[in-house]
Amino acid sequence: MPKMKSHSGAAKRFRVTATGKVRRYKANKSHILTKKSPKRKRGLGRPTTLQPGDAKRMKRLILAQGS
């Protein structure tokens, strides 16, 4: 059986940390920034981690393991 390929779209958007958590960047930071407060824009710029249930699905896509 051939190797499983990782999901290209997911691989570009998510990274697995050394402790096994899945890191992502937040949406809504690209345009219409004038109405957003500086505090909100700073928060949107920082990465966050996925919830455990979502992280399990993303790891399967990123690491190309069989389901």
Domain ranges of the chain: 1-22+47-67
Return mean pLDDT, the chain: 91
In whole angstroms, how large is the CA radius of gyration of the chain? 15
The pTM score is 0.76
For residue 56, the model assigns a pLDDT of 93
Distance CA 7, CA 30 (A): 24
Distance CA 11, CA 33 (A): 27
